[in-house]
Amino acid sequence: MKQKIKTALISVSDKTDLSNVLKTLNKYKVKIISSGGTYNTIKQLGYPCTEVSTYTGFKEMLDGRVKTLHPKIHAGILHDRTNKKHAKEMTKQKFPSLDLIIVNFYPFQKIVLNSKNNKEIIENIDIGGPTMVRAAAKNFKNVLIVTNKSDYADLINEIEKNKGKTSLNFREYMSSKAFGLTAYYDAMIANWFNKKLNIKFPERKTIFGRRFKELRYGENPHQKSSIYISDYNDKELGLQQLNGKELSYNNYNDIFASLEILSSFKKISGTVIIKHANPCGVSINKSALHSFKNAYACDPVSAFGGVIACNYKINKNIAQEINKNFLEVILAKGFDKDALIILKKKKNLRVIDISKYKPKNHTTIKNFDGSFLLQDKDKSIFNKKILKVVTKNKPSVKEIKEMEFAFNISKFVKSNAIVLTNNFSTIGIGAGQPSRLDSCKIAIQKAKLFQPKKIKNSIVASDAFFPFADGVKLLTNAGVRTIVQPGGSIRDQEVINAADKVKAKMIFTNIRHFNH
């Protein structure tokens, strides 16, 4: 059913790009009603317009908080044109119909980003705008609602195509977009209050997101995918791509996994290599080049086609090392001019500057079919006050520091996680096995394959307790002499005895790091 546009109400915070819309509405002799700054803009552009207060016969009040909240406006939007009772009431009140509503909201998210003044933020919570939008969206059978200037071109095309009218399909589609906007807007406000009041787990949790980009496909080619930004700054991720193909779903998944680990490092240079969301090489070192080489040496086979993230600037020497290997993505805090020239020789290599990336969320979400789990991020490593040395042999201060490094990496490895390290670099990682013993075998196998000389006197971290002594025996027989684990098994003493037997050192952290 096509509906003729006779009267339009325009009230927008963003007044750009209105000219072409007004030109089209004027062409089809559409009467325009507006308020405040929008009214002034329309008049300045040279188009006839009636101010809302003149239209309703009621002046704005409460510093503009009440201006469009009037029965004449909302009845004009909400009445059903096919309902005889509605028609009689409208005739009796002398209320005309409103056929087109163009509204965008007070810039709440912009104010949140740029101001810490709570009063200013609250004043920029729009009430009248969302109320009109919801009313028009509900009555899409009769009314067209437009909430984004990016839809102006489609609006003009729709009006021109239908000679001043709009189709039901178009009105319903715009209604769906409008309800998406009001839900998004309200979710941002609710989340702002939750953050302000430090409410981590509210009774009702709404996750807001703006589509940043539609991706070629998901984890596999037969799956569709998009990436959304859930932040008040919903225009950018803080990732500047300088070279290479478009990023895929799997690229993003690995990128965010690498950035989580990278953000856990302090000021020292760190390199993280990710494959299928698991680290396959991690190293921190005063030398950025050594950090890169050590991380790659951990498992060069798994690193093939992986994602490498660095918390330092890439120079010419490191770029030359990178280009010796096949990688999907390289992330770093800047690139020297010479380094970029080298890296851009590989057209498909995705080169990304993460200088402006800042981790913001403090929770993690896992979605299921009709439900989701929400939890705090695992920000702890271990608490030195509750560390317990359980073996006769005690670790040195340096060994405890490296234990902390190894135990930190275990947080990011899929459980069951076993991480072997030597001199603040991983030399073997066992990830994602149903059996902890299998993870031990894989970590040892990797270390023996690529860095056999470094297993002797190496350090191992386990994300959860050893349920039996078999894992510890396997590790110590391979050369491990320092073990960090949470403890807490009913067989802890058997595990301790196995370590003491070979004069190994072991500490219990009393903190577990499952990552499923």
Residues 6+ apart with CB under 8 A from 169: none
- Could you tell me if 120 and 78 are in contact, meaning their C-beta atoms sit under 8 angstroms apart? no
Largest alpha-carbon pair distance within the chain? 96
- Residue for token pair 């030109």: 23
> How many CA atoms does the CB half-sphere of 429 hold within 13 Å?
34
Which amino acid is it at 64? G
Residue 286, classed as helix, strand or coil, is coil
User: 346 is written with which tokens?
Assistant: 């590989």
Task: Return the axis-axis angle of helices 71-78 and 84-93, rounded to nearest 10°.
Answer: 150
- Could you tell me if 186 and 130 are in contact, meaning their C-beta atoms sit under 8 angstroms apart? yes
**240: enclosing H helix or E strand:** strand 240-243
Q: What are phi and psi of 390, to 5 degrees?
A: -110, -5
Catalytic center residues: 138, 276
How far apart (Å, rounded) are the C-alpha atoms in residues 190 and 184?
A: 10
User: 253 is written with which tokens?
Assistant: 């998944």
- Residue for token pair 């240079």: 269
How far apart (Å, rounded) are the C-alpha atoms in residues 168 and 143?
A: 9
- Could you tell me if 188 and 232 are in contact, meaning their C-beta atoms sit under 8 angstroms apart? yes
Residue 339, classed as helix, strand or coil, is helix
Long-range contacts of 217-220 (CB under 8 A, 24+ apart): 217/248, 217/249, 218/249, 219/249, 219/250, 219/253
Lateral strand order in the sheet of 388-389: 388-389, 505-508, 482-485, 459-462, 418-421, 426-430
- Dihedral over alpha carbons 26, 28, 29, 30 (to 10 degrees): -80
The CA distances from residue 279 to 233, 261, 274, 353, in Å, are: 29, 9, 4, 20
